[in-house]
């Protein structure tokens, strides 16, 4: 019955995403089965107990990645599938390289948008889960576990492993088999109680394992297509009871087998993540709600236009909160001058005695400390959060580094300013109480400062970040700025400030111990390429991170919308206010 609207959605999404794959995968029903079965498959432990306690939320949230595709995150769709044949390996998914760098030698980043990146997504989300578990951030752990459930579930759908994802390559009449198999057949013929509880798979490398799973998935495709042809011929249509009866004789067992395999595989991934994290005892009282989701709520059903990130705060409220922003002045010995910074306090700060985490929010090039407050609704958004937001000045186009041209800006922000804030406000004065966010030059600054001072900050987020700073392929117009900072020996110093080395230094024995990383970029932004290069480098090194590409360019409209996504991310990273 949802067929018409779904087809419209699919076509619309395919156009928007530049992606022909209409996959939605398992539908809500199948994804819930996979999530619940995985919990049942886990051996008895306090980890299993914790997941069981949160089973309803976990099972529901496992479908959310399909909704993000609807909210026009352009990097989302390819995470759900792999068109195996596009990699020049026939239908042998085991021959697809594990290493993302090696994949990029076969297919460009743009081509991968239509080929799919499901295995590396599974690797990434599992790394996020391990990180959250190790750091005992239970809400984030549950969020990451639910998303892992989605992508692992998708890998088990036969039509998610092939370029012939809707039967369309052999015969146009077979179009629609994708959803007939994974949604309608499952909904009509399989109950959760039918699924057999098993044991978790042993997992060595999540990416290797995902490719093995996809290889099993693609093998199931020809028989389903054959059953579809036969059933359609006999029933005379593809939406009658007769058609589904006939289809199920040949294909129900396949669907059931793939769901059961997914339940065992997901259990294996979850258990391995918990083991790698050192089997931490979960805090049993995690009260998770949809507020914890990435991409600020509310969500909308598929097929309706994307809403703003959050209900827009009225101009009135924005103006009022903007006026309430406090400007502090400090005589900096490091910069040898008076400097100003803005502070927004959460509403609750005025009514309690708790200590609060702090987000340092950086502006872009040719900007100043008052940019965020003057040009966005950040004061209003921040007031409703649980963190203090501090907006410092970059002292010119310093790139937030210490340099001969602009002085000790990095040292000022990480030391002198931090101490001033912690002296003047009730803050949580450890790593879990600090994060940095920034836009453009400040996006680079946020990631660079947090990864260079890992002992100080637990997380960093970059919006439209100039993340290629310090690399030879970076935007030529921006490279000229390096000459102002380093009048002599420009190149050596400029390259020293590249972001990736400061991220990679935290990767030891395959585990990343640095700050949590979030970055996003507008699709029309002139900095999109360097953001994609950073994403590719992090996928290659299997470094935990979250990345999104939204509609928009290098504008305040974009930053006003997506600062709220960065705050959503920070909510899952920072400590809660404490007494």
Closest to Zn ion by CB, 25 or 38: 25
Closest to Zn ion by CB, 68 or 567: 68
CB of 450 to Zn ion, least distance (A): 31
Q: Crossing angle for the helix pair 221-235 and 206-219, nearest 10 degrees?
A: 30
CB of 58 to Zn ion, least distance (A): 16
Spatial distance between the Cα atoms of 297 and 304, rounded to a whole number of angstroms: 15
Closest to Zn ion by CB, 28 or 280: 28
Q: Torsions phi, psi of 326, nearest 5?
A: -95, 130
CB of 148 to Zn ion, least distance (A): 12
CB of 143 to Zn ion, least distance (A): 16
Helix (H/G/I), strand (E/B), else coil: 447: helix
| Residue 175 CB neighbours (<10 A) | 15
- The count of residues interacting with Zn ion (CB under 5 A) is 4
* Segment interacting with Zn ion (CB under 5 A) among 61-69, 187-195, 294-302, 418-426: 61-69
Which runs of consecutive H residues, i.e. helices, occur in 397-505? 409-411, 418-424, 441-452, 476-485, 490-496, 499-504
Closest to Zn ion by CB, 13 or 25: 25
| Residue 93 CB neighbours (<10 A) | 25
Closest to Zn ion by CB, 154 or 535: 154
Q: What string marks each residue from 377 to 396 as x (binds Zn ion by CB under 5 A) or -?
A: --------------------
Restricting to residues 549-578, name those near Zn ion by CB under 5 A: none
DSSP string covering 111-165: HHHHH--HHHHHHHHHHHHHHHHHTT-HHHHHHHHHHHHHHHHHHTSGGGS-S-T
CB of 118 to Zn ion, least distance (A): 9
* Segment interacting with Zn ion (CB under 5 A) among 62-70, 242-250, 347-355, 497-505: 62-70
CB of 141 to Zn ion, least distance (A): 21
Which residues, at least 6 apart from 2, have a Cβ–Cβ distance to it below 8 Å? none
CB of 155 to Zn ion, least distance (A): 10
Restricting to residues 462-501, name those near Zn ion by CB under 5 A: none
Closest to Zn ion by CB, 294 or 357: 294
Spatial distance between the Cα atoms of 74 and 234, rounded to a whole number of angstroms: 41
Least Cα distance to 396 among 366, 432, 359, 430 occurs for: 366
Spatial distance between the Cα atoms of 289 and 574, rounded to a whole number of angstroms: 17
Closest to Zn ion by CB, 81 or 360: 81
CB of 184 to Zn ion, least distance (A): 16
Closest to Zn ion by CB, 80 or 545: 80
CB of 154 to Zn ion, least distance (A): 4
Structure tokens at 55: 């089973």
CB of 73 to Zn ion, least distance (A): 13
User: Mapped to the 3 state alphabet, what secondary structure does 59-93 carry?
Assistant: HHHCCHHHHHHHCCCCCCHHHHCCCHHHHCCCCCH
Helix (H/G/I), strand (E/B), else coil: 32: helix
Closest to Zn ion by CB, 66 or 73: 66
* Segment interacting with Zn ion (CB under 5 A) among 38-46, 65-73, 216-224, 363-371: 65-73
What residues does 547 pair with on adjacent strands? 519
Which runs of consecutive H residues, i.e. helices, occur in 196-281? 206-219, 221-235, 241-276
Site membership for Zn ion, residue 448 (CB under 5 A): no
Q: Crossing angle for the helix pair 241-276 and 46-53, nearest 10 degrees?
A: 130
Closest to Zn ion by CB, 160 or 564: 160
Least Cα distance to 262 among 33, 22, 27 occurs for: 33
Restricting to residues 96-155, name those near Zn ion by CB under 5 A: 154
Q: What string marks each residue from 68 to 87 as x (binds Zn ion by CB under 5 A) or -?
A: ------------x-------
The CA dihedral of 178, 38, 29, 71, to the nearest 10 degrees, is -80
Q: What string marks each residue from 20 to 59 as x (binds Zn ion by CB under 5 A) or -?
A: -----x----------------------------------
Q: Binding residues for Zn ion, per CB under 5 A?
A: 25, 66, 80, 154
């Amino acid at each position: 019955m949802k067929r018409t609207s779904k087809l419209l959605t699919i076509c619309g999404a395919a156009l928007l995403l530049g992606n022909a794959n209409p996959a939605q995968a398992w539908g809500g029903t199948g994804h819930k089965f996979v999530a619940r079965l995985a919990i049942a498959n886990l051996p008895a432990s306090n980890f299993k107990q914790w997941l069981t306690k949160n089973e309803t939320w976990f099972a529901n949230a496992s479908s959310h990645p399909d909704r993000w595709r609807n909210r026009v995150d352009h990097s989302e769709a390819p995470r759900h599938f792999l068109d195996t044949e596009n990699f020049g390996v026939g239908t042998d998914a085991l021959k697809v390289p594990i290493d993302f760098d090696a994949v990029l030698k076969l297919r460009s980043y743009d081509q991968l948008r239509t080929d799919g990146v499901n295995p590396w997504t599974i690797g990434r989300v599992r790394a996020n889960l391990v990180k959250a578990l190790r750091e005992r951030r239970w809400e984030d752990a549950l969020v990451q576990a639910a998303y892992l459930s989605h992508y692992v579930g998708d890998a088990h759908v036969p039509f998610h492993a092939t370029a012939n994802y809707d039967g369309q390559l052999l015969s146009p009449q077979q179009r629609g088999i994708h959803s007939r198999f994974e949604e309608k057949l499952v909904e009509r013929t399989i109950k959760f109680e039918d699924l057999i509880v098993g044991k978790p798979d042993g997992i060595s490398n999540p990416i290797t394992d995902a490719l093995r799973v996809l290889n099993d998935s693609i093998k199931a495709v020809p028989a389903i297509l054959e059953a579809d042809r036969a059933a359609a011929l006999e029933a005379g249509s593809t939406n009658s009871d007769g058609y589904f009866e006939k289809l199920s004789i040949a294909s129900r067992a396949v669907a059931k087998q793939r769901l059961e395999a997914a339940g065992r595989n997901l259990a294996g991934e979850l258990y391995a993540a918990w083991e790698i994290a050192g089997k931490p005892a979960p805090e049993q009282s995690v009260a998770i709600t949809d507020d914890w989701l990435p991409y600020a709520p509310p969500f909308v059903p598929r097929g309706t236009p994307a809403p703003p990130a959050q209900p827009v705060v009225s101009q009135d409220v924005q103006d009022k909160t903007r006026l309430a922003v406090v400007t502090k002045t400090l005589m900096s010995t490091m910069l040898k001058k008076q400097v100003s910074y803005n502070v927004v306090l959460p509403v609750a700060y005025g009514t309690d005695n708790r200590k609060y985490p702090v987000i340092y929010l950086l502006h872009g090039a040719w900007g100043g400390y008052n940019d965020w407050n003057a040009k966005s609704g950040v004061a209003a958004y921040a007031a409703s959060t649980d963190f203090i937001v501090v907006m410092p000045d970059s002292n010119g186009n310093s790139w937030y580094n210490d340099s001969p041209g602009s002085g000790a800006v990095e040292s000022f922000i990480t030391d002198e300013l931090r101490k001033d804030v912690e002296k003047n406000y009730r803050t949580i004065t450890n790593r879990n109480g600090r994060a940095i966010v920034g836009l453009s030059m400040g996006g680079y600054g946020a990631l660079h400062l947090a990864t260079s001072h890992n002992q100080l900050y637990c997380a960093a987020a970059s919006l439209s970040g100039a993340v290629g700073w310090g690399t030879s392929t970076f935007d030529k117009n921006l490279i000229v700025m390096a000459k102002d900072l380093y009048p002599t020996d420009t190149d050596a110093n400029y390259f020293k400030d590249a972001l990736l080395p400061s991220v990679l230094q935290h990767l030891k024995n395959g585990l990343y111990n640095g700050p949590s990383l979030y970055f996003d970029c507008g699709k029309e932004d002139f900095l999109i390429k360097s953001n994609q290069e950073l994403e590719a480098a992090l996928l290659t090194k299997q470094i935990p991170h979250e990345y999104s590409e939204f509609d928009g360019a290098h504008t305040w409209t974009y930053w006003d919308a997506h600062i709220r996504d960065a705050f959503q991310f920070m909510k899952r990273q920072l400590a809660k206010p404490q007494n």
